């Protein structure tokens, strides 16, 4: 707390003395926005705990559970989530994102599937999502037995109810799902509260999305991403949270100080750029919590809603707790006792810092020309790095990043003014990866767009006589 206060003071001093953005950028901490510091600090462990207890009280939130009860099952749960988010602020537009899903795969009968969506409109239509899935599942033996057996779960005497033999019957067995994914849901709901009550006028539109149908194959996320692609809704980033509330690994190792962040490749894809952004800005606002980017889409043979967005060309990443306890997943033992509220709150703070920074920053500049080629050359000497980019609306400056063309993390950065071209003399473009981010007049930075050549299609060579 002392540190944040000192940094806030530093910004005020520098602004008073009219110090340039370039000088402020010398010290990364000077880029902190006191309004974001305050927003991050307003996340409440107590509220997260109360949301989790309420979610647990529905006993099951299976997408296939019955919807007639007002106190038990998915229908009661989604209505409570809707009403809760509606109570936060008249600025929040809360609605069901509803679909009639035909039987397919693990959807055994026609289902009225509803994501619960809260939109906080910004000045521009570009959207930043924070998400979790509120649906649950519990199977005999759960994820622990599935892992231990190498994939074939044995029958488990701890499972209180077996799934119904009749595919048309509701799947009403106990499935508390407090960590999977009550944790991501509570985080999303709490961020809807702090963002809508912050009084900050964001540039981007923020969407707080509680998905359904994740456990049947990312169904709710896929339906929403499909709709967004068809309607050309400009989703710029998705921060998905799934299993982010437990710091005690089933192996006995405890880690409450780090969070894993999975992202779709290849190495300079927008998804990887978003992961680096979260590491950079989450780390600045929440230095006591370490983001561990993972250069892979997800854990082995596990999935999550961020992949549904990535597969349709949107930029999405997935947060996962660092040490999982598999015996408490997809299992009747996924209860409130398995949660660490301080850990969940730290993960919520990292999400909040990243989403707020991104929503206040300009959109990232494009580094591609109209033929989709990166605007990077060796001119004028033939041995220089000559970078061009397209001006981003609202940008007051740009920051150039580069690193040797081996390794994931940026090594160098340089703040430049409100220009769209930079020449680094005698820097060989073949040896480095370059990228550029847009920055507004208050230092809010976008994620980095990198100069990478799109893969070329191979054309078969014709041979005479064949
Ligand atoms: Zn999950």
Cα–Cα distance measured from residue 247 to residue 249, given in angstroms and rounded to the nearest whole number: 6
Cα–Cα distance measured from residue 60 to residue 56, given in angstroms and rounded to the nearest whole number: 8
CA–centroid distance, 303 to ligand 1, in Å, is 8
Cα–Cα distance measured from residue 195 to residue 198, given in angstroms and rounded to the nearest whole number: 5
Angle between helices 45-57 and 182-196 (to 10 degrees): 130
Cα–Cα distance measured from residue 8 to residue 215, given in angstroms and rounded to the nearest whole number: 43
In this structure, what token pair is assigned to residue 40?
A: 């991050």
CA–centroid distance, 215 to ligand 1, in Å, is 7
CB 376 within 8 A of CB 389: no
345 burial class (0-12, 13-18, 19+ CB within 10 angstroms)? buried
Cα–Cα distance measured from residue 408 to residue 450, given in angstroms and rounded to the nearest whole number: 12
Residues 6+ apart with CB under 8 A from 124: 203, 204, 205, 363, 393
Global pTM?
A: 0.90
List 230's β-bridge partners, or say none: none
Measure Cα distances from 164 to 108, 168, 178, 297, 359 in Å: 11, 9, 23, 33, 45
Measure Cα distances from 377 to 150, 411, 427, 449 in Å: 51, 21, 11, 16
Q: What is the pLDDT of residue 100?
A: 98
Query: Three-state DSSP class for 235?
Result: strand
Residues 6+ apart with CB under 8 A from 164: 170, 171, 172
Residues in the chain, overall count: 466
CA–centroid distance, 57 to ligand 1, in Å, is 18
Q: Work out whether the CA dihedral 188, 116, 318, 372 comes out positive or negative.
A: negative
CB 249 within 8 A of CB 294: no
Q: What is the pLDDT of residue 24?
A: 41
CA–centroid distance, 325 to ligand 1, in Å, is 13
CA–centroid distance, 180 to ligand 1, in Å, is 5
Residues 6+ apart with CB under 8 A from 85: 92, 94, 116, 118, 189, 192, 193, 208
Q: What is the pLDDT of residue 22?
A: 39
285 burial class (0-12, 13-18, 19+ CB within 10 angstroms)? buried
CB 23 within 8 A of CB 303: no
CA–centroid distance, 330 to ligand 1, in Å, is 8
What's phi and psi for 207, nearest 5 deg?
-125, 125
Residue (of 385, 394, 386, 373) closest to 446 by Cα position: 394
Residue (of 343, 77, 36, 44) closest to 190 by Cα position: 44
CA–centroid distance, 327 to ligand 1, in Å, is 14
CA–centroid distance, 216 to ligand 1, in Å, is 10
In this structure, what token pair is assigned to residue 327?
A: 């015996």
Residues 6+ apart with CB under 8 A from 149: none
Task: Give the other-Cβ count within 10 Å of 403's Cβ.
Answer: 17
Q: If you write DSSP's letter for every residue of 44-87 in order, what string do you get?
A: -HHHHHHHHHHHHHTSB--TTS----SSSSHHHHHHHHHHHHHT
DSSP at 379 = T
Which helix H or strand E contains 23, and what residues bound it? helix 21-24
Measure CA 215 to chain center: 18
Cα–Cα distance measured from residue 273 to residue 265, given in angstroms and rounded to the nearest whole number: 10
Q: What is the pLDDT along the chain (466 residues), one digit of tens a residue?
A: 334 433 333 333 333 333 333 334 444 456 799 999 999 999 999 999 999 999 999 999 999 999 999 999 999 999 999 999 999 999 999 999 999 999 999 999 999 999 999 999 999 999 999 999 999 999 888 887 778 777 554 444 444 445 567 878 899 999 999 999 999 999 999 999 999 999 999 999 999 999 999 999 999 999 999 999 999 999 999 999 999 999 999 999 999 999 999 999 999 999 999 999 999 999 999 999 999 999 999 999 899 999 999 999 999 999 999 999 999 999 999 999 999 999 999 999 999 999 999 999 999 999 999 999 999 999 999 999 999 999 999 999 999 999 999 989 999 999 999 999 999 999 999 999 999 999 999 999 999 999 998 878 899 999 998 6
CA–centroid distance, 130 to ligand 1, in Å, is 15
CA–centroid distance, 133 to ligand 1, in Å, is 7
CA–centroid distance, 238 to ligand 1, in Å, is 16
CA–centroid distance, 137 to ligand 1, in Å, is 9
Measure CA 163 to chain center: 32
CA–centroid distance, 243 to ligand 1, in Å, is 6
């Amino acid at each position: 707390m002392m540190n944040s206060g000192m940094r806030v003071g530093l910004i005020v001093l520098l602004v008073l003395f009219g110090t340039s953005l370039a000088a402020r950028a010398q010290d990364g901490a000077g880029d902190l926005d006191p309004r974001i510091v305050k927003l991050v600090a307003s996340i409440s462990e107590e509220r997260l705990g109360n949301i989790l207890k309420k979610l647990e009280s529905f006993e099951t939130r299976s997408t296939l559970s019955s919807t007639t009860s007002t106190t038990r099952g998915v229908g009661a749960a989604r209505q409570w989530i809707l009403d809760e988010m509606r109570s936060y602020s008249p600025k929040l537009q809360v609605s069901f994102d509803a679909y009639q899903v035909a039987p397919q795969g693990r959807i055994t009968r026609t289902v009225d599937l509803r994501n619960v969506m809260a939109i906080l409109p910004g000045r521009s239509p570009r959207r930043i999502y924070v998400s979790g899935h509120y649906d649950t599942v519990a199977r005999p033996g759960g994820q622990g037995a599935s892992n231990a057996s190498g994939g074939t779960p044995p029958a488990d005497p701890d499972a209180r109810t077996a799934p119904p033999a009749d595919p048309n019957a509701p799947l009403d067995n106990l499935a508390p799902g407090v960590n999977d994914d009550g944790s991501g849901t509570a985080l999303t709901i709490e961020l809807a509260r702090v963002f809508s009550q912050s009084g900050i006028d964001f540039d981007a539109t923020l969407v707080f999305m509680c998905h359904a149908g994740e456990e049947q194959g990312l169904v709710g996320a896929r339906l929403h991403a499909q709709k967004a692609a068809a309607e050309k809704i400009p989703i710029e980033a998705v921060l998905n949270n799934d299993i982010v509330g437990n710091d005690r690994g089933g192996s006995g190792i405890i880690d409450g100080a780090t969070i894993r962040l999975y992202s779709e490749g290849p190495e300079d894809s927008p998804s990887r750029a978003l992961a680096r952004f979260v590491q950079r800005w989450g780390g600045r606002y929440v230095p006591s919590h370490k983001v561990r980017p993972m250069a892979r889409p997800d854990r082995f043979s596990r999935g999550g809603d961020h992949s549904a967005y990535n597969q349709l060309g949107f930029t999405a990443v997935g947060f996962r707790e660092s040490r999982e306890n598999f015996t408490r997943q997809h299992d009747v033992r996924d209860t409130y006792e398995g949660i660490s509220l301080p850990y969940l709150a730290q993960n919520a703070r990292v999400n909040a810092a990243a989403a707020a920074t991104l929503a206040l920053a300009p959109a990232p500049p494009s580094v591609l020309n109209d033929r989709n080629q990166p605007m990077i050359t060796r001119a004028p000497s033939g041995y220089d790095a000559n970078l061009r980019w397209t001006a981003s609306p609202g940008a007051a400056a740009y920051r150039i990043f580069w690193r040797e063309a081996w390794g994931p993390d940026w090594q160098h950065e340089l703040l430049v003014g409100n220009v769209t071209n930079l020449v680094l003399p005698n820097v060989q473009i073949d040896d480095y990866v370059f990228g550029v981010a847009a920055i507004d007049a208050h230092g809010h930075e976008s994620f980095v767009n990198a100069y990478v050549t799109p893969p070329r299609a191979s054309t078969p060579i014709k041979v005479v006589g064949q």
